[in-house]
Structure 1
Amino acid sequence: MSDQHAGVRYVVDDVPAAIEFYTTHLGFTVRMSAAPAFADVVRGPLRLLLSGPASSGARATPADASAAGRNRIHLVVADLDAEIARLSDAGLDFRSDVVAGPGGRQILLADPAGNLVELFEAAR
Structure 2
Amino acid sequence: MLRRDDLRLLLNTPGGGGGAGQPMRDGTMPVPGGWNRIQIEVDDLDATVDALRRHDIALRSEIIQGNGGRQVVADDPSGNPIELFEPRRGD
Give the TM-score taking structure 1 as reference length.
0.44
* Structure-2 residue corresponding to 1:43: none
Structure 1, unaligned runs of 5 or more? 7-67
Give the aligned length. Answer: 59
Among candidates 109, 114, 121, match of residue 74 of structure 2: 109
Is residue 49 of structure 2 the alignment partner of residue 84 of structure 1? yes
After the TM superposition, list the runs of 4 or more consecutive aligned residues in structure 1 that deviate by more than 4 angstroms. Answer: none
Q: Spell out, residue by residue over 1:62-121, the C-alpha distance to the aligned partner (whole angstroms, 9 max, x if none).
A: xxxxxx820100000000000000111011010112110120000000012210000000
More strand by share: 1
What SS does the corresponding residue of 1:93 show, helix, strand or coil? coil
* Percentage of matched positions with identical amino acids: 44
Cα separation, 2, equivalents of 1:109 and 1:91: 11
What SS does the corresponding residue of 1:119 show, helix, strand or coil? strand
Structure 2, unaligned runs of 5 or more? 1-5, 8-32
More helix by share: 1
Structure with higher Rg: it is: 1
Give the TM-score taking structure 2 as reference length.
0.60
